[in-house]
Amino acid sequence: MTAHDIAPSTPAAPPIAPEPAAAATCGDCGTVLQGPWCHACGQPVQGMVRHLASVMSDVGDTLFNVDSRIFRSLLPLYLRPGFLTNEYLAGRRTRYVTPFRLFFFLCVVAFFAIQFGINLTMIDEFGRGEVTLGDIRSAQTPEELDARRQAYLALLEAAAPAAAGAPRAKARLDAQVAAAQAAATERARFLRERAQAIANGQPTPTDPAAGGTIEIDGVAWQPTRESVRVAWLPEILNERLFIAAQRVKDNLVLARREPSHLVEGVLSVLPQTMFVLMPLFALLLKFAYVFKRRLYMEHLMVALHSHAFAFLSLLLLVLVDLLGGWLVPRWPATAGAFTLLTAAMWSWLFVYPLLMAKRVYRQGWLMTLLKYGFVGTCYLVLLALGISGALVASLALT
């Protein structure tokens, strides 16, 4: 062994430590950041200048809170009356979508689906732009009327084989045939009266398809500035009232020829109507359960969840109806199952609020039934007034 072998080894040089990364600072006040928000001025780290997918994700979360919680919320919302409300009032809130976001999300989706479903089944939309009932009602000669009637009925005949095994589809098809025959008969009568008036040198009757009139007690209604004027209103408001009355008249004439126009108008303002009625429903609950000494906001949670359930039920009913319309003509044996399912879903729509009131307010069955009848009757009146208001608003504003 040599001296070189027993000499102590030279220690290795210590590794060079990496320089610490510069701490992120707030772009507004320069404070060192400790999270996604500046604790000094409150400015968020993320602005709008970033990838579009990230921005849209934040928008969706803000408006709808669409994440895994939506799936944990929808099933108990539909199948467990009062469960989400009791969970919220007990303080277990983060695992579920908040009541207002659930209400808002389902309201938007449900009314979109309802409008889509109605558009698919409207009689005047059956021709898909080829021949419609409006074409029959506007024919100017007997020959043109007969050609359009035959073309429309040919479209209906082409759909008859697919509807043969589906009771609902066949009933709708029969109604379309009857409507076409009635429209053709009415138009033929007008064409005969007009031809006779021309032959006799008399004034011709007003053509309903040329704009038409609205009759009240047999008298044509034509709004004028004086007939709709309110004495105590400023002139600028009276002018707007006259313009609104003219729109109502024009829309009523249009709706007589194209019912889909009226339906679309009502559906366009109905969500806003439900936003107004929902707090009133909570007020009814506050009055009905006044001796429970609960805060109004607790009743508002019940109202939000019950309305969210109603929207979810309507959405599911539309989906089941569309599925049945597609499936039953192909497998007629499924018609009975769809009929029973639809009946059960409609029944559940009315039973659910009763069970929800029983589980949230925890009163006996007798008092729960009495208050269910009282609140339900009052709310149906409010709902009828709200829908009537939505109808008038759609006629006056669209």
- The residue with greater pLDDT, 9 or 74, is 74
The phi and psi torsions of 20 (rounded to 5 degrees) equal -60, 140
Residue 126 confidence (pLDDT) above 50: no
The rounded distance, in Å, linking the Cα atoms of 358 and 365 is: 7
Helix or strand or coil: residue 44?
A: strand
320, 304, 314: which is closest to 356 by C-alpha?
304
Q: Residues 270-280: pLDDT tens digits?
A: 788 888 899 99
pLDDT tier at 62, thresholds 50, 70, 90 = low
Residue 288 confidence (pLDDT) above 90: yes
For the stretch 41-63, what's the b/e string if a residue is b when 16 or more beta carbons lie within 10 angstroms of its beta carbon?
Answer: eeeeeeeeeeeeeeeeeeeeeee
Residue with tokens 């002018």: 239
User: Residue 128's pLDDT is what?
Assistant: 44
Mean pLDDT of the chain: 79
The rounded distance, in Å, linking the Cα atoms of 65 and 58 is: 9
Which runs of consecutive H residues, i.e. helices, occur in 289-362? 296-327, 335-361
User: Residue 381's pLDDT is what?
Assistant: 94
The phi and psi torsions of 37 (rounded to 5 degrees) equal -130, 145
Instruction: State pTM to two decimals.
Output: 0.64
The rounded distance, in Å, linking the Cα atoms of 333 and 296 is: 50
pLDDT tier at 215, thresholds 50, 70, 90 = low
For the stretch 306-317, what's the b/e string if a residue is b when 16 or more beta carbons lie within 10 angstroms of its beta carbon?
Answer: bbbbbbbbbbbb
Bridge-partner residues for 44, per DSSP?
A: 37
Residue 86 confidence (pLDDT) above 80: yes
For 142, other C-beta atoms within 10 Å of its C-beta total 13
The rounded distance, in Å, linking the Cα atoms of 325 and 336 is: 13
The rounded distance, in Å, linking the Cα atoms of 382 and 327 is: 38
The residue-averaged pLDDT of 70-76 equals 86
C-alpha distances (whole Å) from 48 to each of 25, 33, 54, 264 are 18, 19, 9, 36
The phi and psi torsions of 232 (rounded to 5 degrees) equal -90, 0
The residue-averaged pLDDT of 85-104 equals 89
How many CA atoms lie less than 13 Å away from 6 in the CB half-sphere?
3
Lowest-confidence region among 8-17, 144-153, 174-183, 239-248: 8-17
The rounded distance, in Å, linking the Cα atoms of 252 and 385 is: 19
Taken in order 294, 297, 300, 305, is the CA torsion positive or negative?
Answer: negative
User: Residue 315's pLDDT is what?
Assistant: 92
Tokens at residue 31, please? Answer: 């404070």
Residues 70, 101: contact at Cβ < 8 Å? Answer: no
The residue-averaged pLDDT of 195-205 equals 77
The rounded distance, in Å, linking the Cα atoms of 308 and 381 is: 20
- The residue with greater pLDDT, 232 or 165, is 232
Strands (E), the chain: 214-216, 219-221
Q: Residues 300-347: pLDDT tens digits?
A: 999 999 999 999 999 999 899 888 878 887 788 888 898 999 999 999
User: Residue 117's pLDDT is what?
Assistant: 73
288, 305, 281: which is closest to 356 by C-alpha?
305
pLDDT tier at 41, thresholds 50, 70, 90 = confident
User: Residue 87's pLDDT is what?
Assistant: 93
Lowest-confidence region among 92-96, 215-219, 355-359, 391-395: 215-219
- The residue with greater pLDDT, 246 or 348, is 348
The phi and psi torsions of 215 (rounded to 5 degrees) equal -105, 135
User: Residue 341's pLDDT is what?
Assistant: 94
The phi and psi torsions of 59 (rounded to 5 degrees) equal -65, -45
- The residue with greater pLDDT, 156 or 355, is 355
The rounded distance, in Å, linking the Cα atoms of 325 and 341 is: 14
